[in-house]
Amino acid sequence: MNEILGLHHVTAIAGDARENLAFYTRTLGMRLVKRSVNQDSPGTYHLFYADAVAHPGTDLTFFPWPEMAPAKAGVGLTMEVSLAIPGGSLEFWIERLESSGVKTGTLEERRGERCLPFADPHGLPLVLAETADAREFVAWDKSPIAAKKQIMGLHSVRLWERSLDDTSAFLTKVLGFEDLGADGEWHRFGVHGGGSGKFLELRELPETARGAWGTGGVHHIAWRVADLDAELAVRERIGAARRRPTDVIDRFWFKSVYFLEPGGALFEIATDGPGFTVDEKLESLGEKLVLPPWLEPSRAQIEAALPQLK
């Protein structure tokens, strides 16, 4: 029971699409690797930021819905996204963020790693975590950030839960995570003994109200599997645990299964392939609006409803 390989992507809800693009490509120096639309609600973009070659596990993606109210913190939601940076680069990032007008939080040490909390322009709680863990990453040569200091992808996520026991049992017995124990009020779980991009942490808050989606909040987190066979094996266990997974949905760049974990957070299982180069050349990823084939007949109407991005 070791199909899950770590985080595939995290999808959050943004406000203005232009502000989102500027912050993640200019301030944080990530590459826009796919410019598409929400396939279930094509009136809004779906923007994907990753490393130079769009490795699974480096993707942070957004639905820009500026008309939505801000997210409401509470149980059943992913409350923080941690991004990996190289060891020794944190001072550079503190100076860069503060010089860009980004308010940073107090430096923390989490399980031996130095971590810097901050928020993006629409309120999404982020952390930069220094890590020496081996990971799949290719630096982007057009980033405003030097290769040796670039964000290397996803590190971990933090969720608030009403019951630690319910979600803990599901993670370990159904999804195959390892219980890595508590550090203060946060209980960590990892995949295959842990590693960068393979952690999630739970905080139990039994008296806290349920959270609500909105701008500055996480919509869902996706876990990697190698292929469709692995995805179907995980889906079968999720179904046996009565978590009511969806059928396999073809997202064109990967295949997805969605379900709610016991605490109510939306999870996805996503295949590594076929990947973002199935419909674009590697060197031109993210430069134009790409639609899956079933939305292509509606391109004119979709483009007319979207703000222009440069």
- Average pLDDT, integer, range 10-17: 98
Q: What's the whole-number average pLDDT of the chain? A: 96
Q: Is pLDDT at 298 greater than 90 in this prediction?
A: yes
- Confidence (pLDDT) at 47: 98
Tell me phi and psi for residue 180, to 5 degrees: -100, 5
Stretch 184-199: mean pLDDT: 90
Distance CA 17, CA 46 (A): 9
Distance from the Cα of residue 292 to its chain's centroid: 21
β-bridge partners, 80: 158
Q: How far is the C-alpha of 33 from the C-alpha of 224, rounded, in Å? A: 18
Percent of the chain with pLDDT over 70: 100
Residues whose CB is less than 8 angstroms from the CB of residue 51 and which lie 6 or more positions away in sequence, other chains included = 30, 31, 58, 137, 138, 139, 140, 150, 152, 153
Query: What pLDDT is recorded for position 192?
Result: 84
193 confidence band (pLDDT: 50, 70, 90)? confident
Using the predicted structure, report yes or no on whether residue 1 has a pLDDT greater than 80: no
pLDDT value at residue 272: 96
How does pLDDT run across 64-103, given as a tens digit for each residue? Answer: 999 999 999 999 999 999 999 999 999 999 999 999 999 9
Domain assignments of the chain as residue spans, ordered by start: 6-305
**Predicted local distance difference test score (pLDDT) of residue 278:** 94
For residues 209-221, average pLDDT: 98
What is the residue whose two structure tokens read 């020794």? 88
pLDDT number for residue 196? 77
Q: How many CB atoms lie within 10 A of CB 297?
A: 10
Select from 76, 70, 155, 72 the least CA-distant residue to 116. Answer: 155
Query: Which residues are 289's β-sheet partners?
Result: 35
The helices-and-strands tally (H runs, E runs) of the chain is 5, 16
At 292, is the pLDDT very low, low, confident or very high (cuts 50, 70, 90)?
confident
What is the structure's pLDDT at 2? Answer: 87
Dist. CA 224–CA 196, nearest whole Å: 13
* Measured distance between the N- and C-terminal CA atoms of the chain, rounded to whole angstroms: 44
At residue 66, the pLDDT reads 96
**Which pLDDT band, with edges at 50, 70 and 90, does 195 fall under?**
confident
131-186 pLDDT, tens digit each: 988 889 999 999 999 999 999 999 999 999 999 999 999 999 999 999 999 999 99
Q: For residues 80 and 126, is the Cβ–Cβ distance under 8 A? A: yes
The string of pLDDT tens digits covering residues 223-251 is: 999 999 999 999 999 999 999 999 999 99
User: Does residue 194 register a pLDDT over 80?
Assistant: no
What is residue 107's predicted lDDT score, i.e. its pLDDT?
97
Q: Is the dihedral of CA 238, 242, 248, 253 positive or negative?
A: negative
What is the C-alpha separation between 136 and 134, in angstroms, rounded? 7
Give the DSSP H or E segment for 168: helix 164-173
**Third-level CATH fold of 6-305:** 2,3-Dihydroxybiphenyl 1,2-Dioxygenase; domain 1 (3.10.180)
pLDDT at 42 over 80: yes
